Amino acid sequence: MPLVTTTEMFKKAYEGGYAIGAFNVNNMEIVQGITEACQEQKAPVILQVSKGARAYANHTYLVKMVEAAVQECPDIPIALHLDHGGDFEICKSCIDGGFTSVMFDGSHMDYEDNVKVAKQVVEYAHAHGVVVEAELGQLAGVEDDVVAADHQYTDPAQVEDFVTRTGVDSLAIAIGTSHGAYKFKPGQKPQLRFDILEDVSRRLPNFPIVLHGASSVPQEFVKKVNEFGGNLPDAIGIPEDMLREAAKSAVCKINIDSDIRLAITAAIREHFATKPGDFDPRQYLKPARQAVKDMVTHKLVNVLGCNGKA
């Protein structure tokens, strides 16, 4: 099947009490690792591309690799999504360039500007058959080289007005998740504001909610990276049971990038340390790709619950 939007995926996920994985893609091995797992598990999937990914791999290469995955994985719906589009222009460029979904991220703007640009993106996107995610509130963590120290939790009182005035198709909210591999301090009890999520979903019935910054930072990867010469002290993610709880609620899209980075880095570091004579990139990228596939398989089955839903 051709690339799809997220409309149908989200409707089924909402009704079925599971979430779709939105995985960031930056190169061929990542695209293959994710989509091979999804094809095997019969899981719908969102492949998402950031501004940094476009700068690294080039828009055309990314689109063509995703198109290749669509061809290789005939049994599953795949959406191609722009992650954190910071202005109208980048959203337009991705809409014109074959994406089926874009995020306009105006979370750094004041409320009225966020409404204004989100509405402009929606008008253009919908006229081209593309869906739009926007964000209210702000996540802590690293995002496109910008570090935000504190969360600005989403104000549930704003969500109806925002969705009505902009016409967005899904909404990312800030409930305590954050970007990157350092989401909580050592000794700090991981907590998410499920009360905000509940309030938002009460105000927006049947409306898909998105969680960014939802990597769980598996400790086996952190341990392996550190064991083989890396330095990731106190990397901590969102506990998987919290993500499972979120996936059962109005949360229909869960964003995962850092866990892919960790899986790849752990595999490559282990390879270099244990096979110092290898110098063919295929030798160490193969286990790295397999590590992505294994990690994604685990998420689909044990965290998101979207296996078998294609």
Q: Annotated catalytic sites, by residue?
A: 83
Kindly tell me which of 108 and 126 has the beta carbon lying closer to ligand G3H.
Answer: 108
Q: Which amino acid is at 51?
A: K
CB of 206 to ligand G3H, least distance (A): 26
Name residues contacting Zn ion, limited to 49-68 (CB under 5 A): none
215 contact choice in ligand 13P, Zn ion, ligand G3H, none (CB below 5 to 8 Å, kind-dependent): ligand 13P
Kindly tell me which of 50 and 201 has the beta carbon lying closer to ligand 13P.
Answer: 50
| 197 lies in the binding site for ligand 13P (CB under 6 A) | no
| 269 lies in the binding site for Zn ion (CB under 5 A) | no
Among residues 94, 77, 192, the alpha carbon closest in space to that of 140 is found at 192
Judged by CB under 6 A, the number of residues near ligand 13P is 14
Q: Which stretch binds Zn ion (CB under 5 A): 74-82, 128-136, 205-213, 215-223?
A: 205-213
| 174 lies in the binding site for ligand 13P (CB under 6 A) | no
| 256 lies in the binding site for ligand 13P (CB under 6 A) | yes
Per-residue CA distances from 209 to 92, 247, 266, 278 (Å): 23, 10, 31, 45
State the first-to-last Cα distance of the chain, in angstroms, to the nearest integer: 11
Q: What does the per-residue mask of binding to ligand 13P show for 210-229, with x meaning CB under 6 A?
A: --xxxx--------------
CA gap 32, 25 in Å, rounded: 10
Instruction: Give residue for tokens 């008008």.
Output: 123
Q: How big, in percent rounded to 5, are the helix, strand and coil portions of the chain?
A: 50, 20, 35
Kindly tell me which of 51 and 289 has the beta carbon lying closer to ligand G3H.
Answer: 51
Q: Residue numbers of the site for ligand G3H (CB under 6 A)?
A: 24, 50, 52-53, 83-84, 143-144, 179, 257
| 83 lies in the binding site for ligand 13P (CB under 6 A) | yes
Q: 102 with 91: CB under 8 angstroms?
A: yes
Question: What are the residues whose beta carbons fall under 8 Å from the beta carbon of 124, sequence distance 6 or more?
Answer: 88, 91, 92, 95
Kindly tell me which of 5 and 27 has the beta carbon lying closer to ligand G3H.
Answer: 27
The pairing of strands 78-85 and 140-143 is: unpaired
Q: Which of 212, 261, 271, 289 binds Zn ion (CB under 5 A)?
A: 212
Q: 183 with 149: CB under 8 angstroms?
A: no
Instruction: Give residue for tokens 């570091």.
Output: 269
Two tokens, residue 22: 């939105």
CA gap 223, 105 in Å, rounded: 33
CB of 294 to ligand G3H, least distance (A): 20
| 257 lies in the binding site for ligand 13P (CB under 6 A) | yes
CB of 28 to ligand 13P, least distance (A): 20
Per-residue CA distances from 26 to 4, 65, 124, 192 (Å): 20, 10, 26, 29
| 81 lies in the binding site for ligand 13P (CB under 6 A) | no
CB of 133 to Zn ion, least distance (A): 10
Name residues contacting ligand 13P, limited to 12-31 (CB under 6 A): 24
Chain residue whose CB lies nearest Zn ion: 212
Kindly tell me which of 53 and 164 has the beta carbon lying closer to ligand 13P.
Answer: 53
